[in-house]
Amino acid sequence: MANLNPHLDKLSSYYFFQDIDQRAKALKAKDPQAILLNLGIGDITKPLTPHLLSALCSGSQEMGDKNTFHGYGPSQGYPFLREAILYGEYKDLGISADEIFISSGAKGDLAQLQELFALDSRIGVTDPAYPVFLDANVMAGRTLHWSEEEERYRGIVTIPCLEENRFLPVPPDMTCDLIYLCSPNNPTGAALTRQKLREWVDYALQHRSILLYDGAYEAYITSPDCPRSIYEIEGSREVAIEIRSFSKSAGFTGLRCSYSVIPKNLRASLNGQETALHAYWKRRQDMKFGSVPYPIQKCAAAIYSPEGQAEVKERLSIYQQQARFLLDGLKSMGFTAYGGIDAPYVWCKTPEKMNSWDFFTRLLEQAHVISVPGKGFGKSGEGYVRFSSFADPQILAEGLLRIKQIVGTL
């Protein structure tokens, strides 16, 4: 009988966000009258802006005409989009268009870039963190079993992001080969400052580690001392892969388009030989990835037109204002809350040291408000829930009101 990957049963049986959905559905089944307000949602709630829509539709129309339709596209993405990203995002940062790889969602790249590395690589993951960082390495076999006692997978290095370090991860004492960083952070909303990022790049240069830098929320940065790209830090092109997405910056969650930057100076050891990663990721994408649909790439390129930029900035400023509104609202009720300044997420401490699933359940059952329990992002997420600013303003306002009504009972 064929044997399955033995690491599969180390994974929790549900992907974390599915778990939350299940619980919300269970409440609706028990109480069909309940009107649930989703204040945890990581999905955008506003449609595509007019100029981007127009690019999507005209790109689609091209597919019906013999003279303009597109078959297989280059696995790395069309040059028109890579050039647009280069000029729009990386103009003076020493990146070239052929270092940019278009992909169908940051999630996929964050899950799959680990395929480039040896199975015995030592992995460093911040805690809390987006569950995919860890899950992908669990499935690949780079961790030992889950330890109930330690509340973590053994065999990997956990880098805690705690209140006492303002949720900014600090390089560990030991050498990690591969480190997942996310800034602005999902779920804490904290963004790495230039100085902190400098420390990480120095660490990686010293230990010859690779940083997988998840910049999916860079568009939300407002603090002037937080870089938008890790490539603003000198030396980073030798150690960092940056992964970004149009999902949250331009409303692409349903369209699936993202990109990863693999600088050509990024090197690691291949069977004892120092080797550039770039050609191997290209080879991997040629083999396994079939490019992003042409109309979607046209739509993504439109983000960098003057009209696209104006629309996207306006949309972002709404989500940013809502994040402040959420942060201020929670604080005014007496909650200790973080984030919300450089990220769409607010990281809210549970009252009375309640555990995060309990607080999630109280909010769900008593206020019919959906949050995201911090524990789902890792052990250090315990004692927090994540709120998000993507919901409509009236839902955010109503949600805050409902929380206020139960706050005395908690």
Q: Residues 113 to 142: which contact a second copy by CB under 8 A?
A: 115-121, 131-132, 135-136, 139, 141
CB of 178 to a second copy, least distance (A): 6
CB of 43 to a second copy, least distance (A): 4
User: Taking the complex as a whole, how short is the minimal distance between the CB of residue 35 and a second copy, in angstroms?
Assistant: 18
Q: Which of 222, 265, 275, 309 binds a second copy (CB under 8 A)?
A: 275
Rounded Cα gap, residues 324 and 407, in angstroms: 20
Site of tokens 């591969």: 178
Least Å distance, CB 156 to a second copy, is 15
Query: Does 237 contact a second copy by CB under 8 A?
Result: no
Give me the residues paired with residue 53 across strands. Answer: none
String of DSSP letters for 206-238:
HHT-EEEEE-TTGGG---TTS-SSGGGSTTGGG
Report the nearest approach of a second copy to the CB of residue 251 (Å).
8
Q: Which of residues 347-406 bind a second copy (CB under 8 A)?
A: none
d(CA 367, CA 144): 39
- CB nearer a second copy, residue 251 or residue 329: 251
Closer by beta carbon to a second copy, 121 or else 380:
121
CB of 133 to a second copy, least distance (A): 10
Decide: is 205 part of the binding site for a second copy (CB under 8 A). no
- For 60, the 3-state DSSP assignment is helix
Binding segment toward a second copy, per CB under 8 A, in 182-190, 215-223, 264-272, 375-383: 264-272
Judged by CB under 8 A, does residue 271 bind a second copy? yes
Report, in Å, the least distance between residue 65 CB and a second copy: 6
- Considering only residues 22, 147, 165, 254, which one is a binding residue for a second copy as defined by CB under 8 A? 254
**CA nearest 258: which of 317, 303, 209, 318?**
303
Q: Does 216 bind a second copy (CB under 8 A)?
A: no
Nearest to 263 by CA among 230, 292, 238: 238
Q: Find out whether 324 and 58 touch, Cβ atoms under 8 Å.
A: no
Q: Which range binds a second copy by CB under 8 A, 27-35, 186-194, 269-277, 305-313?
A: 269-277
Whether omega for the bond prior to residue 128 falls within 30 degrees of 0, making it cis, is: yes
Q: CB 229 → a second copy: shortest distance, Å?
A: 21
Q: Phi/psi zone of residue 190: left (φ > 0), alpha (ψ -120 to 50 degrees), beta? A: beta
Q: How many residues of this chain interact with a second copy, rule: CB under 8 A?
A: 88
- C-alpha distances in angstroms, 97 versus 86, 201, 346? 6, 23, 35
- The answer to whether the beta carbons of residues 216 and 186 sit under 8 Å apart is yes
Given the complex with a second copy, which of 22 and 332 has the nearer CB atom? 22
Give residues 23-82 in contact with a second copy (rule: CB under 8 A): 43-50, 53, 56-57, 60-61, 63-66, 68-73
**Choice between 177 and 218, CB closer to a second copy:** 177
- Closer to a second copy by Cβ: residue 80 or 333: 80
Residues 401, 396: Cα–Cα separation, whole Å: 9
DSSP state of 137: H
Tokens representing 403? Answer: 């929380």
- Looking at the Cβ atoms of 296 and 316, the one nearer to a second copy is 296
Sign (positive or negative) of CA dihedral 246, 251, 253, 254 = negative
Binding residues for a second copy restricted to 281-320, rule: CB under 8 A: 283-284, 286-296
Does 3 participate in binding a second copy (rule CB under 8 A)? yes
Supply the minimum distance, in Å, between the C-beta of residue 288 and a second copy. 4
Please count the other Cβ atoms lying within 10 Å of the Cβ belonging to residue 401.
13
| 9 in contact with a second copy (CB under 8 A) | yes
Smallest gap from Cβ 298 to a second copy, in A, equals: 11
Stretch that binds a second copy, among 8-16, 164-172, 192-200, 216-224 (CB under 8 A): 8-16
CA gap 134, 12 in Å, rounded: 11
* CA-derived radius of gyration, the chain: 21
